[in-house]
Amino acid sequence: MAYVGGIYDELNDILVENDILPRISQRVRRNPVAPSVRHANSKQRGEAGDAGFDPEMLNMLGQMLSERRRAEDRIPWYARADSTPQLPQIPTSELLGALDEIQRYTLNTVPPDLASLRELQDELMQSLGRELDVGSPERPMKRLGEGDRSMLDVMELLFDFILGDENLPEPMKALLGRLQIPLLKVGLRDRRFFSDARHPARRLLNNLARAGLAWTDDGDRSVTSPYGRIESAVLRILSDFDDDIGIFEQVNEEFEGWLEREQKHARIAEQRLTQAREGQEQLHQARVRVAQEIRRLLDDCAPPECRVPEVVERLLTEGWRDVMLLALLREGEDGEQWRQAVELAGRLVWSVQPKHEPTERQRLLKAIPELLSGLREGLNNISFDPHKAGRLFKALQACHIAALRGNWISEEAGKPVAPPEDARKTTASNERSGDLVQTEPAPQDVMAEEPPSPPPDEFLRMAQALMPGVWLEWTDESGRELRGKLSWRSQLTGNCVFVDRRGMKLAELGCEELAAMLREGRARKLEDLNTPLMDRALNAMLEVLKRTEPVPPTH
Residues 6+ apart with CB under 8 A from 185: 96, 99, 100, 103, 241, 243
**Per-residue DSSP letters for 139-151?**
SB--EE-HHHHHH
d(CA 403, CA 416): 8
What is each CA distance from 162 to 120, 280, 333, 351, 437, in whole angstroms? 16, 43, 55, 77, 58
d(CA 176, CA 215): 14
Positive or negative torsion for Cα 475, 479, 484, 488:
negative
Q: Tell me the mean pLDDT per 10 residues along the chain, length 555.
A: 44 51 41 38 41 64 66 57 71 90 84 81 81 71 82 87 90 92 94 90 95 89 93 95 94 96 95 93 94 93 86 94 95 93 95 92 94 95 94 94 86 48 38 38 44 73 93 90 93 92 93 94 90 88 68 48
d(CA 101, CA 118): 19
* Angle 366-369-375 from CA coordinates, rounded to 5°: 130
Residues 6+ apart with CB under 8 A from 158: 537, 538, 541
pLDDT of residue 107: 81
d(CA 354, CA 392): 19
Contact 216, 481 (CB under 8 A): yes
For the chain, which domains are there? Answer: 1-44 (no CATH), 49-267+535-547 (no CATH), 304-423 (no CATH), 456-527 (2.30.30.140)
Residues 6+ apart with CB under 8 A from 372: 393, 396
pLDDT of residue 80: 55
d(CA 348, CA 368): 9
Q: How far is CA 129 from the centre of its chain?
A: 44
Q: DSSP code of 549?
A: P
Name residue 552's amino acid: P
d(CA 266, CA 215): 13
pLDDT of residue 410: 64
pLDDT of residue 71: 57
- Cis-peptide into 553, omega within 30 deg: no
At how many degrees (to 10) do helices 246-300 and 426-439 cross?
Answer: 160
pLDDT of residue 109: 79
